[in-house]
Structure 1
Amino acid sequence: MMVPKQHSNDGEVNVTDWEPPSLRAQNEIELWLGADLAHLPIVRSVVATLATRADFDLDSIADLRLAVDEACSTLITRALPGSTMRCRFVVEDDELRFQGTVLSDNDSAPSTKSFGWRVLSTLTDSVDAHVKSNGQGHQVDIELAKRRVVVDVPGAGA
């Protein structure tokens, strides 16, 4: 859970200065970047690199790039101006999971009836969004996961 860091000089909370939690796994990567569409290429590059290293096929890598791009675009359009977006990537076994988070003044989750949500649900194995109030606004999360296709090659290992 992200908690805004309290500034001591004037007592105001700056929602762009979150205190990051410690990483729980060796295979977990977390990025903190300005909630700005200009940063989408960075996030797409990270997910593509992780998927490549995890031996995902080219189609799955392309799907992940598009899905993460759509998730982040959705989050950025909801983010408070000048705020931060957190992107967490976890690779475990044959699955890559992504969680994007922003602070927003909007208390509703992204619509599951939108074209963007259709893209997310088509390109991934699972996708979910939720909103939690945290006293400084609303924390909006989008989580998605894609499993690596394991191909059984006839005669291999025989």
Structure 2
Amino acid sequence: MTEETETRADGMAGIRDVVSVRLPAESAYLSVLRTATAGLAARLDFTLDEIEDLRIAVDEACAMLLSHAVPGTDLLAEFELTGQEMEVRVEVSTVGSTTPKRDDFAWMVLTALADEVDAVTGSPDRMAIVLRKRRSMARPT
């Protein structure tokens, strides 16, 4: 895990934590990623419902990517924690240029569970999905 200082819009210094996880691009290893997601979301004081939503969203994003992944390669996950938001980027190596289908059920699940979802295909042999989830401002008392 790396920790960096950034300057926020209000001029105050904030902490930005980045955690990277590299796993074989196989569904058998996704439980490790689900556990990491839950632990990091808990660190930001997400509610139990928000944590579960994020776990399911990361799992769904990975399942979408694994269907395009080159066998024997890795799945890279990067978690960026800033204040009240977590950004998760999951990425795999692919053969040729491809993008996830934005009109299928899995994409609808992603957009329902995360605040923002995007597919990134910056290079012809890589595909990534980026999820952003913000902690709700209403805290239970």
TM-score by length of 2: 0.86
**2:22 aligned with 1:32, yes or no?**
yes
CA-CA distance at 1:104 after TM superposition: 0.3
Other-structure match for 1:147: 134
Other-structure match for 1:121: 111
Distance 1:44 1:106 in 2: 28
Identity %: 35
Cα-to-partner distance string for 1:33-89 (whole Å, 9 max, x where unaligned)? 100000110000000001111100011000000000001111111100111110000
- Counterpart code for 1:104: T
Query: RMSD between aligned alpha carbons?
Result: 1.9
1:74-89 alignment to 2 at 5 Å?
Answer: 74-89=64-79
Distance 1:23 1:140 in 2: 24
**Deviation beyond 4 Å, 4+ runs, structure 1:** none
CA contact (8 A) 2:2 2:17 kept: no
**2:83 aligned with 1:93, yes or no?**
yes
SS of the counterpart of 2:112?
A: helix
Other-structure match for 1:13: none
Question: Which one scores higher on RCO, CA 8 angstroms, separation ≥ 6?
Answer: 2
Distance 1:27 1:37 in 2: 26
Figure out how many residues of one structure are paired with residues of the other and give that number. 130
**Mind listing any 5+ residue stretches in structure 1 that lack a counterpart?**
1-21
- Counterpart code for 2:105: F
Other-structure match for 1:3: none
Cα-to-partner distance string for 1:118-156 (whole Å, 9 max, x where unaligned)? 00000000000021335xxx1101000000001167xx9
